[in-house]
Copies of this chain bind each other. A is one copy, B any other.
Amino acid sequence: MTAVIDDFGTYVRARREALRASDASFSVRQVAKRVGIEPAYLSKIERGEMPPPGEETIRKLAHELGEDADVLLALAGKVSSDLREIIRRRPRLIADLIRQLKNAPDRAILRIVREVKDGDW
């Protein structure tokens, strides 16, 4: 059932090292500085010694690494606060829908996104 363990730190480290290969400014220190946290903290997060940081820090990190914030948040086991707010307003309806989507193929979900985007209601 997909391991959770330390996907987040491993993923961030891999991504940062990849960027670093062609740009020396992607060191732990410099990324941490740009994100606004201590280098030691980022180091520990990448090595899984500390759990993933809070939503805001994850967002800044995602931006810095050119990554999708939702993906990084997912790796951290968190749900974006704007999605939480949408669910909060219509919990029964949206909870039902999400549970229905559990076993739907990507293609079916994509189709629904397009349908809704076209606003055919």
Contact = CB atoms under 8 A, between A and B. Distances in A.
Interface of A: 2, 68, 70-71, 73-74, 77-80, 82-84, 86-102, 104-113, 115-117, 119, 121
B77 A95 contact: no
B101 A94 contact: yes
Given A109-B97, A121-B111, A91 B70 contact: yes
27 contacts: A71-B91, A77-B84, A78-B84, A79-B84, A79-B87, A80-B95, A82-B99, A83-B87, A83-B95, A83-B99, A86-B98, A86-B101, A90-B106, A93-B110, A94-B98, A96-B113, A97-B109, A97-B112, A97-B113, A97-B116, A98-B98, A100-B117, A101-B116, A104-B121, A108-B116, A111-B121, A112-B115
For this chain, the copies found in one complex come to: 2
Nearest to A93: B109
A74 B93 contact: no
